[in-house]
Amino acid sequence: MKYIYDKKYPVTSGLLILTGLVFAAMFLLKGFGYDSPQTVYEFGAVHALSIIQDPSQLWRLLAAIFVHIGLEHFAINAVTLYFIGRQTEEIFGSRNFFLLYLLSGLMGNLFVFFFSPDSLSAGASTSLFGLFAAIVTLRYVVRNPYIQQLGQTYLTLIVINVIFSFLPGISLAGHLGGLIGGALCAVIFPVRGEKGAFKKSQRWLALLAYLVLAGLLLILGLSRSLF
């Protein structure tokens, strides 16, 4: 990579730096136990039962986006973010891309929280799946041939990665939640040069759908009995 921080893609660069710093901190503070379940938990992985017992642990729903389980997990997501993030930031603009990344990851982790309450889950893939879904959604409404071609490529990647999500140790719930969050955010946030792709009423409806779904997952999850 030519630059650690690229001024043309400030959010992608910032997210990569933050993700890298978290991973470095895990290794420096925990040594070769950096990828242990205890370390991952301490740094902010989603664990539904902990959140239900202590709602102040809700910060995990966002923090988990920046925590990774092992070097391979970190490297794959970092490289994916480097390339996909730059493309998506260019399409949505830095501010909207930042919100898209966080809200996709949040929805993915809410799905984990509700549908996989016994799991310990972390990683940027919830957000990355959201980026894929956002571009695929745009493919069907914009006239820009670049976005259309990119959307077709991402659609193939989504299908392949969803299939792999059924393997042990991979969070299918998180990936599906990220996809749904990203698709809704693609409607909510306008795209450079394609601001008329969705009507204002459609944007408000997508925002309402996101908030209602997130609220239901959170409220129903918190009300779940521990026993």
Judge whether residue 3 has pLDDT over 70.
no
pLDDT in tens, 113-159: 999 998 999 999 999 999 999 999 999 998 889 999 999 999 998 99
3-state secondary structure 53-98: HCHHHHHHHHHHHHCCCCHHHHHHHHHHHHHHHHHHHHHHCHHHHH
Q: Which residues, listed in sequence order, are joined to residue 46 by a DSSP beta bridge? A: 121
pLDDT in tens, 207-226: 999 999 999 999 999 997 55
Return the closest-CA partner of residue 92 out of 102, 107, 77.
102
Q: What is the rounded CA–CA span in Å between residue 209 and residue 3?
A: 38
Contacts of 122 by beta carbon, 8 Å cutoff, 6+ apart: 40, 43, 44, 45, 46, 64, 67, 68, 69
pTM: 0.94
pLDDT in tens, 65-109: 999 999 999 999 999 999 999 999 999 999 999 999 999 999 999
- The residue with tokens 């379940």 is 37
- Assign domain 10-222 to its CATH superfamily: Rhomboid-like (1.20.1540.10)
Token reading at 182: 């990203």
